[in-house]
Structure 1
Amino acid sequence: MTAVRSPACMIGGLGLLLTWVLVPFVSREGGLFSLGRGDQALTALHLSASFPGFWLLMGLAVLWMVLGLARPDRLERGAIWGGVIGCLLVLWLTRTAGVKPYAFGPGALLALGTCLLVLAFGLSRAGYIRADTFVAASILALGFFIFLFILYPLFSVLRQSVMDERGLRPELLLETLGRYTALMRVVRNSLGLALFVGVTSTLIGLAFALAAARSRSSLTVILRAFSLLPIITPPFVVGLSIILLFGLQGFVTSRLLGLQTRGIFGFPGLALAQTLSFAPVAFLVIASVVESVNPALEEASLTLRAGPWETFWKVTLPLLRPGLANAFLLTIIESLADFGNPIVLGGEFEVLSTEIYFSIIGRFDQTLAATLGLILLSFSLTTFLLQRYWLGERSYVTVTGKPPSGTAMPLPRGLEIGLLTFCGLWCLFTLTVYAFVAFGGFVEIWGINNAFTLRHYHQLLRDGMDALQTTLLLAAISAPLTAAVGILLAYVVVRHDFAGRGALEFTSMLSFAVPGTVIGIGYILAFNQSPFLLTGTASIIVISFIFRNMPVGIRSGVAALAQIDRALEEASVTLRASFATTIRRVVLPLIRPAIISALVFSFVRAVTAISAVVFLVSAKWQLSTKVILDQAENGRYGLATAYSTVLIVIMAVAIAGMYLAVGKRAAVGGLEGGGLA
């Protein structure tokens, strides 16, 4: 009996053959994972009568089984070429057979995965990827899915802006912008608001970071809890509360001051709401830099007879420049991408994120939406690249191989009192804002009939539970997938060196810089036609969650793996443990806190998402954030705030559960990954 010399090729051939015979290669619209009896007519075996190209796929499966019995010195080239040809063949057959109302199905996915596995085996054996087959296959699969679900939607946005029924027309971009007369005003509003919020959020974040890290007061615990708020809050909740406080029937404006004004709508309200939302993000960035400053530098300044104030201004503050620049650029990106607050508080103050939404929903102009999306994307990507350049090219090293000596210098007394006073007042104002979110759900009609009622919660239990259950279900499905993809990508990037490593890392983090509205229209344009027909399904929402929140898992994984010595894994391999055993028994237990934090924060971000999924929800798959947004737009603030309160409680419980599960230190690391990704 002939021995199997290549299990990978043999398993690949058998898997491809079984997929060819048994699994539907294409699926009906909206039935990606449907495996009913009627779907058997959609297998490659049945489709081969109409599409003879499927016989090539079967021939490839037989060839791989033959390669599995071949001599080892003949395997690499055959596996590489067979894998490449197989991938191209699967994609071509999917495009040929997946014509509306059909789209790619589970058979196409399994066939493509099998081809990638055989290709990975060949690349690994030939030394092109210096890792085993599992790692090589992971790299290829991650690269494919990042291209499909991040780069391809962006390409679709670009294509929509320069192509029409007459073909490729680059001048179409200029024609579209020429017809849009409000362009300069919208761009000026977006950039002006982003710069203002960047400055105010960075200054407030600096004040909180200095007070939390260098103050001698016991209030620092409260200040650190401040960083939780933007993570557990749906994007537009702060805007809702500001309306309740300062709107036409606001508690402050109408009840206390007796004013009837809409002055809070527009730039003032947006600037306040975004600063409240993004100052904690700046705090997370700057606090980590403040805590990493080597105390020996400050002690040297004091030894040279510099006073506390001079040391603070000439030593401490200059060392914080990377953190300040990073926080400033991050909050600019957040402000540009923000959709929830502008849609609630914008009024006549138009910004790019909401104009993209109204181009689709109100004007039904996909070309205008794509063109405005390109402009918003260019601003966000420019800021993102500046951030990477600043952190990559400048060095402010204060942590060396030697352990730091001394203790951190306390703040000058006057500065400490001033910062604690400001931070205390800001925390009090922030708590007031969030208290009114909860309070609004117990009022009959805000500002008109302030009688206590539970009507909104009764209505939520009656009409809103379907959307809440759908949200929690889809978030629960996407969270482990997001964590797995992010941790796996972090592992291959940190632990392995291969061609294209930098490009894979950059494109995987690109989803952080791409505004949600741009991703949303990109998904509509890319996946609303065969063979990738996903719009209106739960799959496209889950995919959006995974690849929008993937940086959460990446940051958590990179931070955890950076603290694990490679020698531990090398020792396991030396003791003849397989790669799978090393991962299962050495790596995974050591990065357990990172896995849990990535899991929890992926779930939290999925529940509170709005900017991308606002384009992807359907009547069957409705999400809580979209329901809240609809209620707020219709002036039903009671139901909107009641729903928001329920989501905040769910998120707070999830974060508290993570804190108890992984401990304080890991939870703080998870906060930084979840809050900044």
Structure 2
Amino acid sequence: MNKNKFNLWNISSVIILLLMLTFIIYPLFLILGKGIFNSETGAFTLSHFIHFFERKFYYITILNSFKVTIVSTILAVIIGLPLAYMLRKIKIFGSKFIQIIVIVSYISPPFIGAYAWIQLLGRSGVITKFINDTFQLNFDGIYGFAGIVLVLTLQSFPLVFIYIMGALKNLDNSLVEAAESLGYSNFQRMTKIIIPLIMPTILASSLLVFMRVIADFGTPMLIGEGYRTMPVLIYQQFLSEVGGDAGFAAAIATIFVIITVTLFLLQRILSRQYSYSMSALKPMQAEPLSGTKNILSHIVVYFITFIGILPQLVVIFTSFLETSGGQVYTGRLSLENYKNILFDRDLNAIINTYKMGLYAIIIIIVIGIFISYLTVRKRNLMNSVIDTLSMFPFVIPGSVLGIALVFAFSDEPIFITGTILIMVIAFVIRRMPYTIRSSTAIISQISPSIEEAAISLGASETKTFYRIIVPMMLPGVLAGAIMSWVTILGELSASIILYSTETQTLAVSIYTEVIRGNFGNASAYSAVLTVTSILSLLIFFKLTGKKEVDL
């Protein structure tokens, strides 16, 4: 009996649960408590919430967030769905390379896109100047709602694209051919056969885009100007409340968590209601077109791909341009920006990003393997709770997590605010789901009979796990870890709240350089981050043997 109680798996479950309660649940409850209890008297109060909903200045940010998110999500589907269909249905020259480019545009942080579009369509942007000089206009740039939607749409459509590409891969094309034989036009086949069949995937990807966009901080902060969203309001109110009454900032964060939890539950309900499996007896094959249709298809695909990757091209190109005063590009090629970030100042931001990211990834891999194994092979009440809590990072916006960790660990007995430790904890919490998801998928594919055979030959259960199961899981685990790594590199919303001068990261450096108007340095930092992301993606392909990302 005692042996069963104190084996490796039960001890691991208890440790992981305690870690989750300490670093996820406790900070969130602390935010709720600060929002509903008076900091001085300790009395229950809803005054902070009433204050939020009494003033349009505050509650309009909810409407702003939903407007931006709904429009961006719809546009992402409008772009991602046809692009995926054309690449699956039509033989496009360089289609594999196009898929990689689209994926690269997805893994880059959204705020890099915001910064790049400021370079192009800001008040002093290249395109803005061309339009104003050529047509004698007074175009003032794409700040505000339009700019936010542009950036988030172009950064989000690849997610829809990736999901739908996977769904179309499993689509039985004989159904489409049957519809064609019955006289259905291309448009009718698309709207009456294909879209209904892949509707669960469209809904799943749309809701993931919705949750990602509504929680984004960097884009509206850089390009929104007067158009404020909930993450921006939380950040601004938290900064103004530091050292004073933090109740109002906590109340806003609580409201935002309620919104994101509701969206998460909606996603789970819809995914269960509309999900079904599809087996492609006759998979869709790309076929060549001829004439005008072929030319138009190539133009559309190449144009969308080019617009998607344009921000990355802009930051890499401008990183090699000389600047005057940091803001005005002279047009001459130069390594001045790289000299500034690599030699004229310390390399803390770059070193911190890689160092803390590496620490976080090691922790993510170890814990991710145990969580996936426990929730698949050792299913019980405790592990079911762990499984549910592991989904919380999908629900908690980065800005809210940052504030929660500050509230929880800025005083004794655990004072870690401003340290590397709290940054690593935030990275682990935010990005662990990628690794857990890939690990769970691969452990589900490993037959339990393999473990039973090893145990029957005299190996202990623990030895079987380490010597057989972990090596079999490793390719999928590392693939998920690389995706976690890529997103850690660009983590801004939690980092901007938690960082100190000693723990500044590349993402924070890009943001602060843009705010200060040092565009040359920002481009150089962005180029370093972009190249690192691309190399990580190439490693992903090498480890998995794939040429596409299945989420």
Specify the SS of the correspondent of 1:168: coil
- The alpha-carbon deviation at position 180 of structure 1 amounts to 4.6
Matches within 5 A, 1:247-396: 247-258=122-133, 261-302=139-180, 306=184, 308-364=186-242, 366-396=246-276
Equivalent-residue separation in structure 2 for 1:313 and 1:305 (angstroms): 14
TM-score (norm 2): 0.92
Preserved contact between residue 339 and residue 517 of structure 1 (Cα < 8 Å): yes
Verify: 1:233 aligned to 2:113, yes or no: no
Amino acid at match of 2:361: A
Verify: 1:429 aligned to 2:303, yes or no: no
Matches within 5 A, 1:409-428: 420-428=298-306
- The alpha-carbon deviation at position 302 of structure 1 amounts to 4.5
1:56-77 per-residue CA deviation (whole Å, 9 max, x = no partner) reads xxxxxxxxxxxxxxxxxxx64x
Specify the SS of the correspondent of 2:332: strand
Preserved contact between residue 297 and residue 315 of structure 1 (Cα < 8 Å): yes
Verify: 1:156 aligned to 2:36, yes or no: no
- The alpha-carbon deviation at position 347 of structure 1 amounts to 0.5
Preserved contact between residue 312 and residue 530 of structure 2 (Cα < 8 Å): no
Equivalent-residue separation in structure 1 for 2:544 and 2:199 (angstroms): 32
- The alpha-carbon deviation at position 284 of structure 1 amounts to 1.6
Pair 453,257 (structure 1): closer, same or farther in 2 beyond 3 Å = same
1:508-558 per-residue CA deviation (whole Å, 9 max, x = no partner) reads 011012110010111111111222221121111111111111101111102
Preserved contact between residue 106 and residue 158 of structure 2 (Cα < 8 Å): no
More moved, 345-354 vs 495-504: 495-504
Of the candidates 45, 54, 62, which is equivalent to residue 187 of structure 1?
62
Preserved contact between residue 153 and residue 523 of structure 1 (Cα < 8 Å): yes
Which residue number corresponds to residue 278 of structure 2? 398
More moved, 320-329 vs 588-597: 588-597
Higher relative contact order (CA 8 A, sep 6+): 2
Preserved contact between residue 235 and residue 609 of structure 1 (Cα < 8 Å): no
Verify: 1:459 aligned to 2:334, yes or no: no
Amino acid at match of 2:278: T
1:109-148 per-residue CA deviation (whole Å, 9 max, x = no partner) reads xxxxxxxxxxxx5636xxxxxxxx1111122222111121
Preserved contact between residue 77 and residue 157 of structure 2 (Cα < 8 Å): yes
Of the candidates 394, 413, 426, which is equivalent to residue 512 of structure 1?
394
- The alpha-carbon deviation at position 303 of structure 1 amounts to 5.6
TM-score (norm 1): 0.75
Preserved contact between residue 86 and residue 297 of structure 2 (Cα < 8 Å): yes
Preserved contact between residue 49 and residue 252 of structure 2 (Cα < 8 Å): no
Preserved contact between residue 298 and residue 311 of structure 1 (Cα < 8 Å): yes
Of the candidates 477, 480, 483, which is equivalent to residue 365 of structure 2?
483
Which residue number corresponds to residue 550 of structure 1? 432
Specify the SS of the correspondent of 1:157: helix
Verify: 1:472 aligned to 2:354, yes or no: yes
Pair 245,340 (structure 1): closer, same or farther in 2 beyond 3 Å = same
- The alpha-carbon deviation at position 418 of structure 1 amounts to 5.4
Preserved contact between residue 227 and residue 281 of structure 1 (Cα < 8 Å): no
Specify the SS of the correspondent of 1:444: strand
Preserved contact between residue 309 and residue 412 of structure 1 (Cα < 8 Å): no
Verify: 1:224 aligned to 2:95, yes or no: no
Specify the SS of the correspondent of 2:381: coil
More moved, 544-553 vs 140-149: 140-149
Pair 416,574 (structure 1): closer, same or farther in 2 beyond 3 Å = farther
Pair 231,479 (structure 1): closer, same or farther in 2 beyond 3 Å = farther
Amino acid at match of 1:324: I
Preserved contact between residue 337 and residue 515 of structure 1 (Cα < 8 Å): yes
Which residue number corresponds to residue 418 of structure 2? 536
Which residue number corresponds to residue 604 of structure 1? 486
Of the candidates 74, 82, 95, which is equivalent to residue 199 of structure 1?
74
1:304-340 per-residue CA deviation (whole Å, 9 max, x = no partner) reads 5655544333222101111111111111111111011
Of the candidates 632, 648, 660, which is equivalent to residue 530 of structure 2?
648
- The alpha-carbon deviation at position 464 of structure 1 amounts to 4.8
Larger Rg: 1
Amino acid at match of 2:284: A
Equivalent-residue separation in structure 2 for 1:181 and 1:430 (angstroms): 35
Which residue number corresponds to residue 243 of structure 1? 118
Pair 300,469 (structure 1): closer, same or farther in 2 beyond 3 Å = same
Q: May I ask how many residue pairs the two structures share in their alignment?
A: 539
Of the candidates 496, 501, 506, which is equivalent to residue 614 of structure 1?
496
More moved, 242-251 vs 359-368: 359-368
Equivalent-residue separation in structure 2 for 1:408 and 1:602 (angstroms): 31
Matches within 5 A, 1:73-112: 76=2
Identity of aligned residues (%): 25
Preserved contact between residue 336 and residue 376 of structure 1 (Cα < 8 Å): no
Verify: 1:585 aligned to 2:461, yes or no: no
1:347-368 per-residue CA deviation (whole Å, 9 max, x = no partner) reads 0001110111111224545222
Which residue number corresponds to residue 443 of structure 1? 322
Equivalent-residue separation in structure 1 for 2:34 and 2:284 (angstroms): 55
Preserved contact between residue 478 and residue 545 of structure 1 (Cα < 8 Å): yes
Structure 2: state its 5+ residue gaps.
none
Specify the SS of the correspondent of 1:388: helix
Specify the SS of the correspondent of 2:110: coil
Preserved contact between residue 236 and residue 340 of structure 1 (Cα < 8 Å): yes
Equivalent-residue separation in structure 1 for 2:427 and 2:294 (angstroms): 42
Structure 1: state its 5+ residue gaps.
1-74, 77-120, 125-132
Specify the SS of the correspondent of 2:331: strand
Equivalent-residue separation in structure 2 for 1:185 and 1:506 (angstroms): 32
Pair 206,653 (structure 1): closer, same or farther in 2 beyond 3 Å = same
Which residue number corresponds to residue 284 of structure 2? 408
Preserved contact between residue 111 and residue 218 of structure 2 (Cα < 8 Å): yes
Preserved contact between residue 208 and residue 223 of structure 1 (Cα < 8 Å): no
Specify the SS of the correspondent of 2:278: coil
Specify the SS of the correspondent of 1:451: strand
CA-based RMSD of the aligned residues comes to 2.3
More moved, 358-367 vs 241-250: 358-367
Preserved contact between residue 226 and residue 280 of structure 1 (Cα < 8 Å): no
Amino acid at match of 1:345: I
More moved, 588-597 vs 380-389: 588-597
Preserved contact between residue 83 and residue 161 of structure 2 (Cα < 8 Å): yes
Pair 282,586 (structure 1): closer, same or farther in 2 beyond 3 Å = same
Amino acid at match of 1:353: P
1:274-326 per-residue CA deviation (whole Å, 9 max, x = no partner) reads 01111111112222112122334334445656555443332221011111111
Equivalent-residue separation in structure 2 for 1:274 and 1:562 (angstroms): 34
Specify the SS of the correspondent of 1:625: helix
Equivalent-residue separation in structure 2 for 1:180 and 1:415 (angstroms): 54
